Amino acid sequence: MNSLLRVEDLKTCFYTDAGMVKAVDGISYDLQEGETMGLVGESGCGKSVSALSILRLIPYPPGKITGGKVVFEGKDLLNISEEEIRDVRGNRIAMIFQEPMTSLNPVLTIGLQIGEALEIHRGLNKKETRDEVLRLLRMVGIPDPERRIDDYPHQFSGGMRQRVMIAMALSCSPKLLIADEPTTAVDVTIQAQLLETIKDLTSRLGTAVILITHNLGVVARHVNRMAVMYAGRIIESGPATEVYEHPRHPYTVGLLASVPRLDKPRVGRLVPIDGQPPDLIRLPPGCSFFPRCSHRMQQCSMERPELRIVGAGHLAACLKDLGS
């Protein structure tokens, strides 16, 4: 089966006065049509930068994509013209950004903002655009859309603004939706509603999803496959159920141990991961997780582990076999 999206050895750096930051340090993965993949990791590990790199939205300076391929529907997005990539953005690939209040223009109505992509990519006239925007607002659960279509972003709650962002992202029925922490700014109840909305609408449209999050509970319920990032690299990937039940990298083990579980007996205090993430300007020569790892060996400080097969579709970048 041909992949909808194939990322190969993607590298993105930021050039600062202090040195070069390796924000994305050679990540690779495939995504099939209609599949939902979770990209997991703590803040600063490169999740969002990798997503922005797919759409060539890295600001230069200081950022620059320095290597790799992003093959979408058979085309390398890193090598097509600026006009071609503009046709892809918001049309074939859409993105929901972390904070809707900073993503929406405060001086334009939400109807105009959702309708912009419809006019550019689908060539609809004013009446067709308004009718389609109303349909999209109903689809994402905005009450009284005939009135709310002419409201401004500040007149919506956080959850409703995020629904507007979902409507905007799905307006052109994209083949791929990148959802970057789509529920960060809302409470737990609204988080569940928004994620169910995304899941329902994307399955109906046959849209593949990359769900970027640090919330492992979100991943367990909503993705088929997951990739765990640390210090700009993917350090474990595989089917979500397999990674949850049999984590094979110490960082993944640590993430799961620090999350409260309702399906297991209470075992006392949660176990945090000691230490701090590494300085991406001065990465250690061996495993970047070495200083924080409870399973470390001396070899780990000198040898950088590569992803290796540890199960059916399950890869981990660790010199020690945690499954033995």
In the chain (324 residues long), the average pLDDT of successive 10-residue segments reads 90 95 96 95 92 95 96 96 94 88 89 94 94 95 95 92 92 94 77 88 93 83 92 96 93 86 69 87 91 91 93 93 73
Q: Does residue 265 belong to any structural domain of this protein? A: no
Q: Does residue 305 belong to any structural domain of this protein? A: yes
Q: Does residue 96 belong to any structural domain of this protein? A: no
Q: Does residue 213 belong to any structural domain of this protein? A: no
- Please tell me the distance from the alpha carbon of residue 28 to that of residue 7, in angstroms, as a whole number: 5
Q: Does residue 27 belong to any structural domain of this protein? A: yes
127 and 68 in one domain? no
State which residues form the domain around 108. 101-208
Domain boundary among 164, 184, 208: 208
Helix and strand totals (H; E) in the chain: 11, 12
Q: Does residue 228 belong to any structural domain of this protein? A: yes
Residue (of 31, 18, 23, 2) closest to 67 by Cα position = 23
- Amino acid identity of 157? S
177 and 30 in one domain? no
- Please tell me the distance from the alpha carbon of residue 200 to that of residue 177, in angstroms, as a whole number: 13
In Å, the largest CA–CA distance within the chain is 68
Q: pTM of the predicted model, to two decimals?
A: 0.92
232 and 162 in one domain? no
Q: Collapsing DSSP states into helix, strand and coil, what is residue 303?
A: coil
pLDDT at 159: 87
Q: Does residue 155 belong to any structural domain of this protein? A: yes
Residue (of 8, 6, 39, 57) closest to 210 by Cα position = 39
73 and 12 in one domain? yes
Q: How far is CA 288 from CA 84, 243, 316, in A?
A: 37, 20, 14
How many domains does the chain contain in total? 2
82 and 23 in one domain? yes
**Residue where the block lists tokens 């890193």:** 78
293 and 197 in one domain? no
Q: Does residue 94 belong to any structural domain of this protein? A: no
84 and 230 in one domain? yes
- DSSP string covering 113-130: HHHHHHHHHH---HHHHH
CATH number at residue 194: 3.40.50.300
- Please tell me the distance from the alpha carbon of residue 215 to that of residue 259, in angstroms, as a whole number: 9
